[in-house]
Amino acid sequence: EVQLVESGGGLVQPGGSLRLSCAASGFTFSSYWMSWVRQAPGKGLEWVANIKQDGSEKYYVDSVKGRFTISRDNAKNSLYLQMNSLRAEDTAVYYCARDWGGTTVINVFDYWGQGTLVTVSS
Partner 1 sequence: DIQMTQSPSTLSASVGDRVTITCRASQSISSWLAWYQQKPGKAPKLLIYKASSLESGVPSRFSGSGSGTEFTLTISSLQPDDFATYYCQQYNSFPTFGQGTKVEIK
Question: 75 phi and psi, to 5 degrees?
Answer: -65, -25
State how far the alpha carbon of 95 is from the alpha carbons of 50, 122, in Å. Answer: 12, 24
Examine residue 110 and tell whether it contacts partner 1 (CB under 8 A).
Answer: yes
Examine residue 68 and tell whether it contacts partner 1 (CB under 8 A).
Answer: no
DSSP 55: S
Distance CA 18, CA 68 (A): 10
What minimum distance in Å lies between the beta carbon of 22 and partner 1? Answer: 12
H helices of 1-122, in order, are none
User: Contacts with partner 1: how many residues (CB under 8 A)?
Assistant: 19
Q: Which stretch binds partner 1 (CB under 8 A): 12-20, 21-29, 83-91, 107-115?
A: 107-115
- Near partner 1 by CB under 8 A: residue from 21, 47, 78, 82: 47
- Near partner 1 by CB under 8 A: residue from 28, 103, 107, 121: 107
What is the contact mask toward partner 1 in residues 77 to 96, using x (rule: CB under 8 A)?
A: ------------------x-
Q: Which stretch binds partner 1 (CB under 8 A): 7-15, 45-53, 68-76, 79-87?
A: 45-53
Cβ-in-10-Å burial (0-12, 13-18, 19+) of 50 comes to: buried
